[in-house]
């Protein structure tokens, strides 16, 4: 019975080739986009759920200035609270070393391997579900200078050798770490991502390390609470039992006018935090997920609309055939079932094609959806759920056509007395207009995101990246820092240099200091004396760092924002500790934007230091010509000062662009969504145009007989579509304006939305539609009227 | 008014070549009423389409009002046809989505006549065809006879010198058919040239001259009056 139904369905579909083809194309496109987005969303929503302690894991966050939150705190806090809080089962401390992504084999230090190493305390393997293949979870990271690497990293570095007992470095000049364990690869949907854990004991056992300083807000503390523990109460207890840090917290509470400083954020919220504090942990802006999900649904809606439109325009042809079936004995229900079955078959065909397309093209979509493994084979739910959805889609899409095509009495049909009411025309117009609204709105969205990205790209941060390259140093280079730099300057294509602890855009160090009776937080940027001049940063008060470095060593230049925020009347009288001794504020610099333009400018201090440990990078200003030779010269000069292979030379403007990779990906995604929706809308329009030109062929012939030219016929055929496009714009523009404005409010530095953005979107939709409409109408408009008029 | 010489029309498909008209010499004077008769497939409608500038011949010449039109492009034929030739079809061929008024008005719109002028002309014609009380109705609301009267009104709206009628009474009963033929005669008496294709001897008797076609050629020609 099902087989017979399937046979009838397929025959019916094949009989209306054009409609079937257009429907399959539109549905396949829609399902393709929908499936890709669903795979990505499923991945994002599954973050950290693989942890068996998922419901009891929390991240400690602190309230910062201006209502912000930060997830980095002093590691010392763990020691201070000790075992004083019974609700806490364990505390895992993480420290990710930024800008150091590679590890080296101790016995072969010339080869580096990307591992994104993270320092972690020994509790990590009991609190988190990172299964060990080799090693004891209780002890693998209990000692200093020990490491656990992932299975794939082990294979990469050691091949078939047993990695346990071997040694790794994270900097060539540092002490080696002994591998004590091998873990299974951490899944991609983990907030904590690494191929190599180093033992935090390496830091905590060193009294000079930041891990033992109350002022070092660079560590992530993950709390595993006991069953039934209240996280709010526990957070308050942590504050109360913070030992030597309690005074700091009290000072912050006073400074920020708040009753509480510490909060325990459940791990289920960690991946979706949009307050910026979780960027450390690869968090995603939940607004982005909502946008992705909305676009997925919109694309599906458009395909749904197309299906209804294309089937209903064919109703006139099919009604005669179905009328005969009813006259021969088919019940109305049977006819409806047949039509619904056809819709389901069509949807399943499209779903199958879309699945194949996802498997073939999924890996090419990384620029659009920031997830590498876009495949449906990862999870059977990913196959079953969408298949079920396809069936449901077919069911609902078939309902209206089933009602429509079964509504007429057979006798009327057979005597040619049946006519569809005008309501079908209105529905078609409304549905087509809806599609055009979606396409227009998405184009406006794409323009807005593009404008925002361009705004950031062209924003004068005060730290111009033009013609600036940088490379990571090593101990040999920093040991001979000035000599290395002077050697570079011998090439007249290299005009300036500076050493710095952080690359612009990635200042990662934050200090909490007591200044007067205030507790202040400052982003701290270790630089050399050339830095301000290198970027032409102007001084508002006081002076720049002196070339005579000994006099200014450890001194500071604060930014205007710091002075404004903390109301310093005499900033040049201020002194506070750096890392290793006090320093004085010798100047106030004009504000420069040193972090992402998403956030408001923060108080910041340039800290002059010649400590090689803080000269992680050398930045070079170069002439743009002869680039290849210049880069080669840099590498050759490196080779004179260091036996290690030269690191890759990066361009600062590309670094800036990478800061906005999320928004770039969003832009790519919206363009993808826009393209999908436009294609689906155009498929619908092609179907409608084809139908209308066929339906009106006699009218066209009569008008031509009466003297109408081809152009006049084309104008006639275009009129209704232009009306629909006009209505679509009137609806789309305010909607898009509202949502884009809301999106832009997420950014401290944002562009505006001039009127021409909206007009351009309308013009684009209109132009594309007119080209398609006229392409398919031209033939009809040019047909010899004789061919259409009925003769003898 | 109409002068053809060795007019030929062939239709080609992938497998077959059909000669619908074979060296036809066909002349019609101004003010004449000519009926074309012949069996199905003899080329009557093809001849009518070429005479009406809806189609062009494969060979031969055609002078319309002294103008050689056989090699004209479709665009130019449309221009010439506008206002000079009216058509009446067997199946009425009214536009279902337009009212009676709008159907009759259509040729005048393409002549770029002013709206007020159009209104005046259409009202007058509808009055003459005794159909003005139905001006706001749609074709499906009219009887066959009424629809054909609207079609004739449309054909004469632009005051053409020539009316081409293809089986104008084919879908009508005898009373309505007579009414239509009387209308055409009236128009002819007023000076309009009429060329009519018909199967009906009764209808052909209204004409001045009857031409018989067979297999694409004029076989006989008879003067009626």
* DSSP label at residue A783: S
CA distance A243 to A83: 12
pLDDT band at A496 (very low <50, low <70, confident <90, very high): very high
Contact B70, B121 (CB under 8 A): no
The shortest C-alpha distance from A416 to chain B (Å) reads: 12
Interface with chain B: mutation pick from A417, A419, A706, highest number of B CBs within 10 Å: A706
Mutate to test the interface with B, among A417, A422, A697, A707 (most CBs of B within 10 A): A707
C-alpha dist (Å) from residue A289 to A47, A278, A286: 13, 16, 5
The minimum CA-CA distance between B158 and chain A, rounded to whole Å, is 9
**pLDDT at residue B190 in the model:** 92
Which of A706, A709, A786 has its CB closest to that of B106? A706
- For residue A704, the chain B residues in CB contact (below 8 A) are 78
Contact assignment for B110 to A792 by CB distance below 8 Å: no
Task: Give which of A327, A337, A427 is closest to A12, Cα–Cα.
Answer: A337
Q: Minimum mean pLDDT among A548-552, B162-166, B197-201: which range? A: A548-552
The residue of chain B nearest to residue A702, with distances taken between CA atoms, is: B93
Taking all residues of chain A, what is their mean pLDDT, rounded to a whole number? 84
Count of CB atoms situated within 10 Å of the CB of B75 = 11
Least confident range from A455-459, A477-481, B68-72: namely A455-459
Q: How far apart are CA A520 and CA A512, in angstroms?
A: 6
Question: For residue B73, what is the nearest residue in chain A, using CA coordinates?
Answer: A784
- Cα–Cα distances (Å) from A668 to A42, A292, A294, A296, in that order, read 20, 12, 16, 15
* Strand B17-24 versus strand A518-527 pairing type: unpaired
**Residue A3 above 80 pLDDT?**
no
Cα Rg, chain B, nearest whole Å: 17
Query: Using the beta-carbon criterion (under 8 Å), do A703 and B111 form an inter-chain contact?
Result: no
- Evaluate whether A87 touches A75 at the Cβ level (below 8 Å): no
Q: Is A1 exposed, middle or buried (0-12, 13-18, 19+ CB in 10 A)?
A: exposed
H or E segment at A535?
Answer: none
pLDDT at A535 over 50: yes
Give the pLDDT of residue A173.
Answer: 56
* Residue range B173-178: mean pLDDT, rounded: 88
Helix, coil or strand: residue A108: strand
Give the whole-angstrom CA distance, residue A710 versus residue A701: 11
Which residues in chain B (29-58) have CB-CB distances under 8 A to chain A? Answer: 40, 44-45, 49, 52, 54-55
CB contact under 8 A, B111 and A707: yes
Provide, as residue numbers in chain A, all residues whose Cβ is less than 8 Å from the Cβ of B94: 702
pLDDT at A32 over 70: yes
Residue A588: strand pairing partners? A541, A558
C-alpha–C-alpha distance, residues B50 and B69, integer Å: 10
- Using the predicted structure, report yes or no on whether residue A85 has a pLDDT greater than 90: yes
A539-553, B17-31, B50-64: range with lowest mean pLDDT:
A539-553
Residue A615 · residue A471 · CB < 8 Å: no
B9 touches chain A (CB under 8 A): no
Neighboring chain B residues of A702 at a CB cutoff of 8 Å: 93-95, 106
Q: What is the pLDDT of residues A767-776, one digit of tens each?
A: 988 898 888 8
Decide: A340 and A395 in contact? Cβ < 8 Å: yes
Q: State whether A705 and B54 contact (CB < 8 Å).
A: yes
Torsions phi, psi of B48, nearest 5?
Answer: -65, -40
Q: What pLDDT band is residue B64 in, cutting at 50, 70 and 90?
A: very high
Residues in Cβ contact with A81 at an 8 Å cutoff, skipping those fewer than 6 apart: A88, A91, A238, A241, A242, A243
DSSP H helices, A459-542, are 475-479, 481-489, 531-534
Beta carbon pairs, A and B, within 8 Å? 63
Placement of tokens 């351009």 in the chain:
A760
First to last CA, chain A: 46
Tell me which of A504 and A150 has the higher pLDDT.
A150
Point out the least confidently predicted range of A99-103, A462-466, A683-687: A99-103
Beta bridge partners of A511: A216, A522
pLDDT > 90 in chain A, percent: 32
Distance from CA of A681 to the nearest CA of B (A): 27
Residue A699: per-residue pLDDT: 87
Of B55, B89, B107, the CB nearest to A707: B107
Shortest CA distance from A697: residue in chain B: B95
Interface test with B, best of A705, A711, A786 (most B CBs within 10 A): A705
What are the structure tokens assigned to A459, written together? 């924003």
- ipTM for the complex shown: 0.71
Which chain B residues are within 8 Å of A709, Cβ to Cβ?
A: 75, 78, 110
Contact: B55, A698; criterion CB under 8 Å? no
Digit-coded pLDDT (tens) for A618-677: 999 999 888 999 999 999 999 999 887 788 898 988 888 777 777 777 788 888 888 888
What's the rounded Cα separation, in Å, for the pair A674 and A761? 11
The percent of chain A in helix, strand and coil, each rounded to the nearest 5, is 55, 15, 30
- Hey, is the C-beta of B84 within 8 angstroms of any chain A C-beta? no
Q: How far is B182 from chain A (nearest CA, A)?
A: 23
Q: Do strands B27-28 and B2-12 pair parallel, antiparallel, or not at all (unpaired)?
A: antiparallel
Residues A10-15 have a mean pLDDT of 73
Q: Cβ A791–B97 below 8 Å, yes or no?
A: no
Residue A632 has what pLDDT? 93
Q: How far is A708 from chain B (nearest CA, A)?
A: 6
Question: What's the rounded mean pLDDT across residues B135-159?
Answer: 91
Cβ burial, residue A575 (10 Å; 0-12/13-18/19+): middle
**A360 exposure class (CB count in 10 Å sphere: 0-12, 13-18, 19+):** exposed
How far does A699 lie from chain B, in Å, by closest CA? Answer: 6
Query: What are the chain A neighbours of B107 within 8 Å (beta carbons)?
Result: 706-707
N- to C-terminal Cα distance for chain B? 19
On whether any CB of chain A is under 8 Å from the CB of B81, the answer is yes
CB A347 within 8 A of CB A311: no
Is the distance from CB of A777 to CB of A689 less than 8 angstroms?
Answer: yes
Residues of A within 8 A of B49 (CB-CB) are 786, 791
Per CB-CB distance under 8 Å, the chain A contacts of B196 are none
Alpha-carbon gap, residue A407 to A336, rounded angstroms = 10
User: For A157-214, how does the pLDDT look when each residue is reduced to its tens digit (9 = 90+)?
Assistant: 999 999 999 998 876 557 889 999 999 999 988 999 899 999 999 999 988 888 888 8
* Nearest CB neighbour to B95, from listed A699, A704, A791: A699
Q: Do A707 and B110 touch (CB under 8 A)?
A: yes
Judge: A786–B49 Cβ closer than 8 Å, yes or no.
yes
* B40 to A704: CB separation less than 8 angstroms, yes or no: no
Name the CA radius of gyration of chain A, rounded: 33
pLDDT at A422: 55
Q: Which of B75, B83, B95 lies closest to A709 in CB terms? A: B75
A653-667 confidence digits (pLDDT tens): 888 877 777 777 778
> Taking the model in full, what pTM does it have?
0.73
CA distance A741 to A617: 39
- CB-CB neighbors (< 8 A) of A792 in chain B: 40, 44-45, 90, 166-167, 197
User: What would the pLDDT profile of A709-747 be if each residue is shown by its tens digit?
Assistant: 888 889 988 887 888 889 999 999 999 999 899 889 888
CA nearest to B170, candidates B32, B67, B44: B44
pLDDT of residue A792: 33
pLDDT of residue A791: 44
Cross-chain CB nearest to B54 (options A419, A786, A792)? A786
Is residue A667 within 8 Å of residue A751, measured between CB atoms?
no
- How far apart CA A311 and CA A397 sit, in angstroms, is 10
Are the beta carbons of B40 and A698 separated by less than 8 Å?
no
B117 contact A CB<8A: no
pLDDT at B204: 93
Stretch A546-574: mean pLDDT? 85
């Amino acid at each position: 019975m099902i087989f017979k139904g399937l046979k009838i369905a397929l025959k019916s579909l094949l009989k209306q080739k054009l409609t079937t083809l257009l429907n399959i194309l539109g549905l396949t496109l829609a399902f393709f986009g929908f499936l890709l987005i669903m795979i990505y969303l499923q991945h994002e929503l599954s973050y950290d759920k693989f942890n068996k302690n998922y419901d009891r894991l929390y991240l400690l966050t602190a309230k910062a200035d201006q209502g912000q939150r930060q997830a980095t705190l002093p590691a010392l806090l763990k020691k201070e609270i000790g075992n004083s809080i019974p609700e806490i089962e364990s505390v895992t401390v993480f420290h990710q070393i930024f800008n150091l992504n590679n590890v080296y084999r101790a016995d072969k230090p010339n080869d580096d391997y990307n591992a994104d190493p993270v320092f972690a305390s020994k509790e990590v393997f009991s609190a988190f579900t990172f299964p060990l293949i080799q090693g004891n979870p209780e002890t693998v990271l209990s000692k200093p200078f020990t490491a656990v690497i992932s299975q794939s990293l082990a294979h990469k570095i050691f091949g078939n050798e047993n990695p346990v007992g071997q040694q790794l470095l994270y900097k060539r000049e540092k002490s080696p770490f002994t591998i004590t364990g091998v873990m299974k690869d951490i899944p991609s949907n983990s907030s904590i991502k690494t191929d190599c854990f180093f033992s935090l004991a390496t830091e905590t056992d060193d009294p000079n390390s930041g891990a033992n300083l109350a002022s070092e807000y660079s560590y992530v503390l993950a709390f595993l609470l006991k069953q039934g523990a209240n996280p709010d109460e526990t957070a308050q207890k942590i504050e109360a039992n913070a030992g030597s840090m309690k005074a700091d917290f009290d000072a912050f509470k006073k400074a920020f006018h708040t009753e509480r400083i510490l909060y325990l954020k459940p791990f289920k919220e960690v991946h979706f935090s949009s307050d910026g504090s979780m960027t450390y942990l690869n968090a995603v802006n939940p607004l982005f997920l909502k946008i992705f999900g909305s676009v997925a649904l919109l694309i599906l809606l458009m395909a749904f609309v197309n299906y209804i439109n294309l089937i209903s325009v064919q109703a006139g042809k099919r009604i005669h055939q179905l009328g005969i079936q009813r006259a021969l004995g088919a019940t109305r229900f049977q006819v409806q079932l047949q039509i619904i079955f056809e819709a389901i078959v069509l949807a399943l065909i499209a779903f199958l094609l879309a699945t194949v397309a996802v498997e073939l093209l999924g890996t090419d979509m990384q620029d659009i959806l920031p997830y590498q493994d876009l495949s449906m084979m990862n999870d059977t739910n990913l196959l079953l759920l969408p298949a079920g959805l396809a069936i449901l889609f077919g069911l609902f899409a078939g309902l209206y056509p089933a009602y429509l095509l079964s509504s007429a009495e057979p006798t009327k049909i057979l005597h040619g007395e049946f006519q569809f009411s005008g309501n079908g025309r209105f529905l078609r117009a409304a549905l087509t207009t809806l599609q055009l609204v979606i396409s227009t709105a998405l184009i406006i969205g794409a323009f807005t995101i593009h404008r925002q990205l361009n705004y950031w790209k062209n924003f004068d941060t005060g730290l111009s990246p033009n013609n600036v390259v940088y490379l990571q140093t090593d101990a040999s280079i920093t040991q001979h820092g000035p000599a290395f730099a002077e050697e570079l300057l011998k090439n007249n294509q290299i005009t300036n240099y500076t050493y710095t602890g952080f690359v612009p855009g990635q200042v990662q160090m934050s200090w909490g200091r007591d200044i007067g009776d205030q507790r202040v937080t400052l982003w701290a940027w270790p630089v050399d004396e050339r830095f301000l001049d290198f970027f032409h940063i102007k001084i508002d008060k006081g002076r720049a760092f002196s070339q005579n470095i000994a006099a200014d060593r450890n001194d500071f230049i604060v930014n205007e924002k710091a002075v404004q925020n903390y109301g310093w009347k005499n900033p040049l009288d201020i002194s506070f500790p750096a890392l290793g001794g006090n320093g004085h504020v010798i100047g106030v610099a004009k504000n420069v934007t040193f972090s992402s333009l998403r956030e408001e400018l923060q108080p910041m201090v340039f800290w002059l230091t010649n400590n090689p440990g803080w000269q992680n990078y050398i930045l070079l200003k170069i002439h743009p010509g002869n680039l290849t030779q210049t880069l080669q010269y840099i590498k050759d000069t490196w080779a004179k000062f260091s036996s290690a292979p030269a690191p890759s030379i990066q361009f600062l403007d590309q670094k800036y662009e990478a800061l906005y990779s999320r928004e770039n990906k969003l832009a790519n995604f919206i363009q993808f969504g826009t393209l999908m929706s436009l294609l689906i809308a155009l498929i619908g329009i092609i179907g409608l145009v084809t139908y209308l030109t066929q339906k009106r062929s006699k009218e066209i012939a009569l008008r031509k007989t009466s003297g109408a030219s081809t152009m006049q016929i084309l104008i006639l055929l275009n009129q209704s579509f232009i009306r629909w496009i006009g209505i679509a714009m009137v609806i789309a523009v305010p909607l898009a304006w509202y949502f884009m404005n809301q999106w832009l409010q997420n950014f401290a530095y944002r562009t505006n939305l001039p009127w021409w953005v909206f007009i351009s979107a309308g013009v684009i939709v209109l132009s594309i539609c007119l080209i398609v409409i006229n392409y398919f109408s031209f033939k009809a408009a040019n047909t010899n009227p004789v061919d259409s008029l009925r003769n003898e | 008014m109409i002068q053809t010489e060795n007019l030929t029309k062939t239709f080609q498909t992938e497998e077959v070549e059909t000669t619908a008209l074979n060296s036809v010499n066909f002349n019609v004077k101004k003010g004449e009423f000519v009926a074309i008769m012949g069996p199905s497939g003899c080329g009557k409608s093809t001849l009518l389409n070429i005479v009406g500038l809806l189609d062009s011949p494969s060979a031969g010449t055609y002078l319309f009002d002294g103008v050689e039109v056989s090699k004209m492009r479709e665009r130019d034929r449309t221009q010439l046809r506008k206002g000079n030739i009216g058509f009446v079809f067997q199946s009425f061929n009214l536009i279902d989505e337009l009212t009676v008024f709008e159907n009759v008005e259509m040729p005048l719109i393409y002549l770029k006549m002013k709206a007020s002028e159009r209104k005046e002309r259409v009202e007058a014609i509808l009055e003459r065809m005794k159909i003005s009380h139905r001006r706001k109705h749609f074709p499906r609301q009219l009887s066959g006879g009424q629809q054909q009267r609207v079609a004739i009104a449309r054909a004469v709206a632009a005051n053409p010198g020539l009316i081409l009628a293809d089986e104008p009474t084919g879908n009508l009963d005898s009373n309505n058919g007579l009414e239509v033929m009387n209308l055409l005669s009236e128009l002819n008496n007023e000076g309009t040239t009429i060329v009519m294709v018909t199967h009906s001897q009764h209808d052909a008797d209204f004409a001045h001259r009857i031409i018989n076609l067979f297999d694409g050629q004029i076989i006989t020609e008879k003067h009626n009056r």
